[in-house]
Amino acid sequence: MSVTEYDVVIIGAGVTGLTAGALLAERSLKVALVTRGEPTACLSTGCVDVCSHNDNPILGIRELPPEHPFRLVSEKTVRESLDYFQAAMKDIGVPYIGSCEKNRSVISALGTLKVSCLVPSTMEAAPQDTDESIHIITFQGLKDFYPGYILSRRKSTGFSVYDAGVDSTMSIAARFEEKDFLEKFIIWLEKLNINETKIAFPAVLGLESAAKIVNTLTTIMEKPVFEIPTIPPSMPGRRLFNALKKNFRKKGGAIYWAWPVAGIEKSDNLIEAVTTHSPGRPNSINAKAFILGTGSFVGGGLTATRETIVENVFNLPVHVPGTRETWFDNDYFSLNHGIGKAGIIVDQSMRPVNVPWKNIFVCGGILAETEILKNGCGHGLALATAHVAAQSCAEYLSHEL
């Protein structure tokens, strides 16, 4: 068995793990991130939802029930975590716009208005109501985007179809990275003589360069241009993931990709190592502290069995909201699904309660009582709780090292 030593091991490559990891790595700690695979961010719109209950997300958080994990985070930390995120994303070239004082709307793939807090700059010009006229450009054969849904909900909407020669979200996005393709596309676009106020595209305007491409199109067309998130695979979600990964690596963190944690080594009051199934031989990754960011059911952090709900890495105690009858519902994405309350209960330092180990911190989607869909608080909660966990972990290590 190969053995490697770190100050901190992060488990999970979601918004939570990559954020906590970057914060610790920039304190010159030796940080490894171990992940089974891609996070739920890749399925998301890429927009950072903080709290959808109020026009002002900070006020919305105050309205959440006292047991919600956002209530463990000070408003100062929520603000700092969003500021840190915006600064890091700007640096990487995937800028986000918005403020924690005001929610805004983006058009969803279904043509409804989705409320969010920070949105990729490529969605900045999204209309804030249904009255503004838009012209949608879609692509021949693209299956992840249905302009018909949007046309049926918005008056004064026109649309045109371009043949990009390829028809998947990823391949069209890749073509937009080619200079010749972009030039040819612009010539076609200019000839359309669009009368509507704004021009909308499915979110395929580049893999990494979308912000620049939207700016170029806006300048040339002399009209606001914006992207509409498609159904998964979502380019804005993937751009978010890639940008967070770059940020983590830039700060000096190491990623062990496709290494699911298969076991742990522990003493009475410390976790000492995680062991992983990895190609070739098993590995033991030792560390002084551990941050669990494995997400909820979709991410793989929790599993529901016929009898109960289990946490898959450390077998931490899981808050199970009542009997199976009270939380079982075939529609996982229903807003009031009882299972949305399941997860790990933590204290103010993001340590799980009722466990003997003092060197483990838990944050993000795996926390109990989040009800992420109902409260519209996905990536925002991940960012804020990752900040608290990283801070608590750094304080713990400063006493231990």
Ligand X SMILES: Cc1cc2nc3c(=O)[nH]c(=O)nc-3n(C[C@H](O)[C@H](O)[C@H](O)COP(=O)(O)OP(=O)(O)OC[C@H]3O[C@@H](n4cnc5c(N)ncnc54)[C@H](O)[C@@H]3O)c2cc1C
Positions touching ligand X (CB under 6 A) are 11-17, 34-41, 43-45, 47-49, 260-261, 293-295, 298-301, 312-313, 364-365, 372, 378-380, 382
**Structure-token match 């969605």, residue found:** 123
Of 119 and 213, the one with the shorter C-beta distance to ligand X is: 119
* Closest to ligand X by CB, 36 or 341: 36
Tell the smallest beta-carbon distance from residue 364 to ligand X (Å).
3
> Which CB, 147 or 299, lies closer to ligand X?
299
Q: How far is the CB of 299 from ligand X (least distance, A)?
A: 2
- Provide the sign of the torsion angle of the four alpha carbons 159, 165, 169, 172, taken in this order: negative
What stretches of 177-223 show up as alpha helix (H) in DSSP? 179-190, 210-221
Minimal distance, residue 117 CB to ligand X, in Å: 8
Nearest distance in Å: CB 235, ligand X: 13
Nearer to ligand X, 321 or 380 (CB): 380
For residue 365, CA distances in Å to 96, 125, 283 come to: 21, 29, 26
Cβ neighbours of 67 (radius 10 Å): 12
- Please, where are the H alpha helices in 34-165? 57-62, 75-92, 147-153
Phi first, then psi: give them for residue 25, nearest 5 degrees.
-65, -35
**Closer by beta carbon to ligand X, 201 or else 297:** 297
Q: How far apart are CA 212 and CA 205, in angstroms?
A: 9
DSSP-derived secondary structure for 231-243 = SSSPHHHHHHHHH
| Residue with smaller CB distance to ligand X, 115 or 189 | 115
CA–CA gap between residue 102 and residue 304 (Å, rounded): 36
Q: Could you give the CA distance from residue 41 to residue 70 in angstroms, rounded to a whole number?
A: 19
Answer whether 244's CB lies under 8 Å from 19's CB: yes
Residue for token digits 């790990």? Answer: 344
- Minimum distance from residue 202 beta carbon to ligand X (Å): 15
Q: Residue 159's beta-bridge partner residues?
A: 136
Nearer of residues 173 and 377 to ligand X, judged by Cβ: 377
Report phi then psi at 51, rounded to 5.
-165, 125
CB–CB of 365/295 below 8 Å?
Answer: yes
Q: How far apart are CA 179 and CA 162, in angstroms?
A: 17
CB 159 within 8 A of CB 138: yes
Least Å distance, CB 61 to ligand X, is 14
| CA distances, 21 to each of 2, 206, 252, 390 (Å) | 22, 27, 9, 8
Q: Which is nearer to ligand X, 64 or 217 (CB)?
A: 64
Residue 327 CB, nearest approach to ligand X (Å):
17
Shortest Å distance, C-beta 336 to ligand X: 16
Nearest-approach distance from CB 274 to ligand X, in angstroms = 8
Q: In the complex with ligand X, which residue's Cβ is closer, 81 or 312?
A: 312
